[in-house]
Amino acid sequence: MTFDKILGHDRQKDILRRALANGRLAHAYLFAGPDGIGKRMLAIELARAIVCHEQRGCGNCPACRKIDNQNHPDLHTLEPDGTSIKIEKVRAFQRELNLKPLEAPRKICLIDHAEMMTTGASNALLKTLEEPRGDTLLILLTDQPNRLLDTIRSRCQILPFTRHPNSRIQAELEKRLELNPTEAHVLAALSDGSFKKAFGKDRELYLEQRKTLLKTLTGLSTGSILQMLEFAEQISADKAILPDILEIFQAFYRDVLTTLHGRDTDELVNLDLKEKIFRVASKESIPGILTKLEALMTAQRQLDRNVNRQLAMEVMLLDLTA
Amino acid sequence: MAYLVLARKWRPQNFSDLIGQEHVSQTLANAIKSGRIHHAFLFTGARGVGKTSAARILAKALNCEVGLSDQPCGTCTSCLEITAGQGLDVLEIDGASNTGVDDVRELRENIRYLPNRSRYKIFIIDEVHMLSTNAFNALLKTLEEPPEHAKFIFATTEPHKIPVTILSRCQRFDFRKIPLVKVAARLRELADLEKLTVSDRSLALIARQGEGSMRDALSTFDQVLAFSGDQVEDDAVQTLLGMVDRRLLLDTVEAVLQRDCRRALDAVRRVDQLGLALRRFTQDLLEMFRGMVICTVVETPEEMLDLVGEELKELQLLAEDSSLEDLQRIVTLLLKTQTELATSASPMLTLEMSLVRLATLAPSQELGKLISHLESLEKRLATNPLPRSQGTPPRSVPEEPSPKKSEAPVITTTDERGWQGLVDQVKEKRPMLGSVLEHGRLLKLEPPLLEVGYPKNSFMLGQLQEPDICRDLEALAASYFGASVKLRVVPMEAEQKDAPPSLVETRQAKETDRMRRLREDALEHPALKSVQEIFDGKIKQVIPIDKGFV
Taking the C-alpha atoms of residue A13 and residue A6, their distance in angstroms, rounded to an integer, is: 9
Over chain B, what is the mean pLDDT? Answer: 81
pLDDT digits (tens, 9 = 90+) for A112-147: 999 889 988 898 888 888 888 878 899 999 988 878
Inform me whether the C-beta atom of residue A267 falls under 8 Å from chain B C-beta atoms: yes
pLDDT digits (tens, 9 = 90+) for B278-299: 877 888 888 888 888 888 888 7
Q: What is the CATH number of domain B6-174?
A: 3.40.50.300
Taking the C-alpha atoms of residue B262 and residue B253, their distance in angstroms, rounded to an integer, is: 13
Same domain for A150 and A23: yes
Same domain for A235 and A156: no
Long-range contacts of B540-544 (CB under 8 A, 24+ apart): B542/B518, B544/B514, B544/B515, B544/B518
Residue B247 pLDDT: 80
**Beta bridge mates, B281:** none
Q: Phi, psi (5° rounding) for residue B145?
A: -135, 75
Question: Does A123 sit within 8 Å of B130, measured CB to CB?
Answer: yes
| DSSP class per residue in A198-226 | HTSTTHHIIIIIHHHHHHHHHH--TT-HH
DSSP letter at A85 equals: B
Question: Does B127 sit within 8 Å of A135, measured CB to CB?
Answer: no
Same domain for A109 and A231: no
Residue B547 pLDDT: 55
pLDDT digits (tens, 9 = 90+) for B420-443: 778 888 878 777 777 777 777 777
Residue B156 pLDDT: 93
Closest CA to A269 of A165, A162, A178, A166: A166
Q: What is the CATH number of domain B180-240?
A: 1.10.8.60
Residue B41 pLDDT: 94
**pLDDT level of residue A51 (50, 70, 90 thresholds):** confident
Residue B166 pLDDT: 93
Interface of B with A in 408-467 (CB under 8 A): none
ipTM: 0.71
Residue A173: inside a domain:
no
CATH number for the B246-360 domain, one of 1.20.272.10, 3.30.360.10, 1.20.210.10, 3.40.50.1950?
1.20.272.10
Residue B447 pLDDT: 66
Question: Does A26 sit within 8 Å of B94, measured CB to CB?
Answer: no
Residue A166: inside a domain:
no
Taking the C-alpha atoms of residue B233 and residue B541, their distance in angstroms, rounded to an integer, is: 70
Residue B494 pLDDT: 61
pLDDT digits (tens, 9 = 90+) for A169-215: 888 888 887 778 888 888 887 777 777 777 776 677 777 788 888 88
Residue A168: inside a domain:
no
Identity of the residue numbered B99:
T
Same domain for A153 and A18: yes
CA distances from A299 to A6, A225, A315 (A): 36, 19, 8
**pLDDT level of residue B174 (50, 70, 90 thresholds):** very high
Taking the C-alpha atoms of residue B342 and residue B320, their distance in angstroms, rounded to an integer, is: 32
Same domain for A213 and A299: yes
Residue length, chain B?
550
Contacts of A296 in chain B (CB under 8 A): none
pLDDT digits (tens, 9 = 90+) for B95-152: 888 888 998 999 888 888 999 888 899 999 999 999 999 999 999 999 999 999 999 9
Neighbours of B300 (CB within 10 A): 7
Domain-ending residue, one of A142, A160, A178: A160
Residue A140 pLDDT: 93
pLDDT digits (tens, 9 = 90+) for A222-237: 777 888 888 888 888 8
Q: Nearest C-alpha of chain A: how many angstroms from B246?
A: 20
Please, what is the Cα angle at B120 between B118 and B124, to 5 degrees?
A: 115
Asked if A80 and A113 count as a contact pair (C-beta separation under 8 A), the reply is yes
Taking the C-alpha atoms of residue B218 and residue B215, their distance in angstroms, rounded to an integer, is: 5
Residue A5: inside a domain:
no
Q: Is the pLDDT of residue B549 over 70?
A: no
Same domain for A150 and A14: yes
Q: Is the pTM of this model over 0.90?
A: no
Alpha helices in B344-457 (DSSP H): 347-360, 367-383, 413-429, 431-439
What is the domain range of residue A90?
10-160
Judged by DSSP in three states, B468 sits in helix
Residue A174: inside a domain:
no
Q: Nearest C-alpha of chain B: how many angstroms from A222?
A: 24
Question: Does A120 sit within 8 Å of B349, measured CB to CB?
Answer: no
Instruction: Give B423's contacts (C-beta < 8 A, 6+ positions apart).
Output: B434, B437, B438, B503
Inform me whether the C-beta atom of residue B21 falls under 8 Å from chain A C-beta atoms: no
CATH number for the B413-501 domain, one of 3.30.300.180, 3.40.50.1110, 3.30.870.10, 2.60.40.10?
3.30.300.180
* Domain residue ranges of chain B, discontinuous segments joined by +: 6-174, 180-240, 246-360, 413-501, 508-549
Instruction: Give B334's contacts (C-beta < 8 A, 6+ positions apart).
Output: B282, B285, B286, B289, B354, B358
